[in-house]
Structure 1
Amino acid sequence: MSDRTLRVAHVTEAPLGGVLTYLQELIPLQLEDARIASIEVLAPEVNVKALSSIESDRIKLRSFAHSRGSLLGLLRLALATIRVVRQSRPDILHIHSTVAGALVRCCLLVVPGRPKIIYCPHSWAFAREGSRLKNGAIAAIERLLVRVTDRIICVSNCEKTDAIAWGIPSPKCVVIENGIKSLTPPTTIDGYGSSAYRRRKKILFVGRFDRQKGFDVFAEIMKELQDSEGIAIGDFIVNRAETIEIPSNVTTLGWRSREEVEEIYSTADLLLMPSRWEGLPLTALEAMRAGVPIFASRAGGLKDVVVDGVTGRLFDLGSVKSIADLIRATDEETLREFGKSGRAHFLERYRADLMSKKIMDLYLEMLP
């Protein structure tokens, strides 16, 4: 393309969570790039406070009132997106998450002069739990919408493999793994998160207390590990009515700021991630950055992030006792080595600047 600068618009329907964190990591780096003239962000109102901390005269925030499952909220998103396209005429429309991806691309079928469209599902909906019929229907919609999609960003190799398996054309997909900014861990004793080892392992859970993240499995594992201490950061968002008995050796802290979570990582012996499906969770990258070992299920991008026996351990969901035994059998020296290796793996592969550069290269590739 020529030396002209780019106008970029990011659109998401996802409230809080991983997509918001992704945008908080990506957008400041994009604003440092002189080749980007302006960035617009269209997101639910609940995300505005976090995004408002990004200071630049080249960013414009637009919001809409929305809650998950609200048809009126989806209509507001559709109309707001059309306004962005018509008024601001972005060169790149970067869409995040399944709901926004489907809705916005459908709308643009009838909008003339559409921009180049880059879609990032942040975990395919058809690769989650559900009936074969339901997942097949979702995949069929995704295949149709590929026709108005210039590129699909898969956040892990596993996500691209799933896409191809369900009939998404491989040439449309590009793997750009998630990244977060590099920070010096709060404590750097031997490169391991804990400042001192303890007889009781401190086991951390970070995320929504829902079925996807396997909070129920975490609770059952902690019942087995009465000689360990559990810390759970997060809360119920989906299925608030679901009853999960939280063991007496688990302390729940609710949602905390990213800065607070970084401090808590420095006290943890390991992060436990018994997820049922994932894209490439930023929580895992935050743990590796802090030098904290990860014990995770073989779900989605976790298979890419965690190098089994090097940066942590991978396990199959099924036997809670076998997972607990795996944790119990891992000694302090091994955890220390996992933490060192995880920190090195993060610096080599999962930095935000690497992610941002690859996305910018993709933008440029899309334009004449």
Structure 2
Amino acid sequence: MENSAGRLGNEAKMRRGNAGCSTDSRKTILSICETAQGGVGRYQESLRALGAQGFDFHILLPDAHREILEDRRNVVTFSRDRRGPGAIYRLIRAVFEQKRRLGPDVLFFNSTFSLLPLFALRLARDRTPAVYCAHCWAVSNYEPTSLKGRLVRFLEGRLCGLADLVVNVSEGDAQLARTFGYRGRHVVVANATPDVAEVQPVALTRTNDDEVQLLFVGRFDRQKGLDILLDAFGKARQRGANVRLHLVGAPVRGSDLPVIPEGVEQHGWVEPGQIDRFFKAADAVIVPSRWEGLPLTIPEALRNGTPVFVSDRSAMPDLIEDGVSGGSFDLSVEALVDCLGRMERGELVEMRAGARATYEARFTMDRFSDALARHLRQVLKD
């Protein structure tokens, strides 16, 4: 017997068809976000590129996060003041409500806590095709052999298998999933970012013509490794490195502001439309993260022709061609001191063409939407 959720979903599809939208030609995606902060929100903008591939895109996210999105078409919200059991209950209820209203062909679940409404749907015997994207596996936050690490591995590694497809945003994420035996059918569709028109670089302080202007973009928290960068930057300056560091971002989740050495300028968070002006002005971008999926900072910098230097974590060095579009360093203070001390502005300027070429070869929206649409069509055939 057909369950009520499935029956109502079919009725919603019939209503769309009667209204003049052919359900045979276009499919509806409902993207479910327990949070839209950070890369998850920016990823939703990327998913909108599926519109050119025959998909109508809708987003469910917390009401407090709606303003994060630049494009707010087809956005619905649920009440969430902070993370907790009450917020998860309201999210699950909202998922069932939007499923009845839209009758989506595909459900797209984003990040760890969205696995709970997926679990609830499967308990209700709802078999709507589902895709899951972790945006960086939660186990990356923990020592894998610790009690918390083993618990997280058990939960996310099994619950992700409830989806018909698991999309990894980087080869590093896919490798971690293979290492821990996570369930499900896994594919890699690397993060991407839309191209932008030529922008006017922001004016950055420069004390001499050869001074290297470095840029860090992100949250001031442990994951992003700003504490390591600031320690290394201060020591590199003491040893004569001709560098200046610009920070775009701020502390979050109650984290303390790190000690800021001389030669560092803070710009706070900037509007999305302004961030490319900083990328364009910088000589290089530094990504000293302890763990990542695929931070959008990397393709955003590359699209502006800015070389990127990344830590050796989460397979990030595979995203950069050493000496062509940037470089990598062991994630230690001394290794980063050495990296900063060897930077020369002239060499970085010569890398700008290679950085832009890397973006065009690996991180365009056409490449992203073509690959993801192909996998989604396969899920629908299954």
| Deviation for aligned residue 1:337 | 2.9
Residues 92-120 of structure 1, C-alpha deviations (whole Å, 9 max, x = no match):
001111121x2122211222333101000
| Deviation for aligned residue 1:131 | 5.0
Q: Within 1, Cα distance between the matches of 2:210 and 2:358?
A: 27
Q: Within 1, Cα distance between the matches of 2:52 and 2:324?
A: 35
Corresponding residue for residue 333 of structure 1: 346
Structure 1 runs (4+) greater than 4 angstroms displaced: 193-197
Which one of the candidate residues 48, 64, 83 is aligned to 1:46?
64
Corresponding residue for residue 361 of structure 1: 374
User: Do residues 222 (structure 1) and 233 (structure 2) align?
Assistant: yes
Which one of the candidate residues 126, 130, 134 is aligned to 1:113?
126
Query: Secondary structure at 1:198's aligned position in 2?
Result: coil
Query: Secondary structure at 1:78's aligned position in 2?
Result: helix
- Segment drifting more, 77-86 vs 105-114: 105-114
Q: Within 2, Cα distance between the matches of 1:46 and 1:340?
A: 40
Alignment RMSD:
2.4
User: Do residues 30 (structure 1) and 30 (structure 2) align?
Assistant: no
Q: Within 2, Cα distance between the matches of 1:206 and 1:301?
A: 19
1:289-304 matches, cutoff 5 A: 289-304=303-318
Corresponding residue for residue 127 of structure 1: 140
Please identify the structure whose Cα radius of gyration is greater.
2
- Cα pair 1:281 1:302 within 8 Å, conserved: no
User: Do residues 344 (structure 1) and 357 (structure 2) align?
Assistant: yes
| Deviation for aligned residue 1:206 | 0.1
Corresponding residue for residue 327 of structure 2: 313
| Deviation for aligned residue 1:239 | 3.5
| Deviation for aligned residue 1:234 | 0.7
| Deviation for aligned residue 1:326 | 1.6
- Cα pair 2:64 2:81 within 8 Å, conserved: no
Residues 309-349 of structure 1, C-alpha deviations (whole Å, 9 max, x = no match):
3211111112x233122222122332123322111011011
Equivalent residue letter for 1:238? R
User: Do residues 143 (structure 1) and 164 (structure 2) align?
Assistant: no
| TM-score after normalising by structure 2 | 0.85
Corresponding residue for residue 42 of structure 2: 21
- Cα pair 1:15 1:46 within 8 Å, conserved: no
Q: Within 2, Cα distance between the matches of 1:52 and 1:339?
A: 28
Q: Aligned in 2, Cα 1:256/1:4: closer, same or farther, shift over 3 Å?
A: same
| Deviation for aligned residue 1:72 | 1.8
| Deviation for aligned residue 1:53 | 2.8
Corresponding residue for residue 116 of structure 2: 103
Q: Within 2, Cα distance between the matches of 1:136 and 1:303?
A: 27
Query: Secondary structure at 1:254's aligned position in 2?
Result: coil
- Cα pair 1:26 1:352 within 8 Å, conserved: no
- Cα pair 1:10 1:96 within 8 Å, conserved: yes
Which structure is richer in relative contact order (CA contacts within 8 A, separation 6 or more)? 1
Query: Secondary structure at 1:314's aligned position in 2?
Result: strand
Equivalent residue letter for 2:83? G
Equivalent residue letter for 2:43? Y
- Cα pair 2:158 2:182 within 8 Å, conserved: no
Q: Within 1, Cα distance between the matches of 2:301 and 2:182?
A: 32
Identity rate, percent: 27
Q: Within 1, Cα distance between the matches of 2:198 and 2:289?
A: 25
Q: Within 1, Cα distance between the matches of 2:100 and 2:207?
A: 57
Residue ranges of structure 1 left out of the alignment (5+ in a row): none
| Deviation for aligned residue 1:86 | 2.7
Residue ranges of structure 2 left out of the alignment (5+ in a row): 1-22
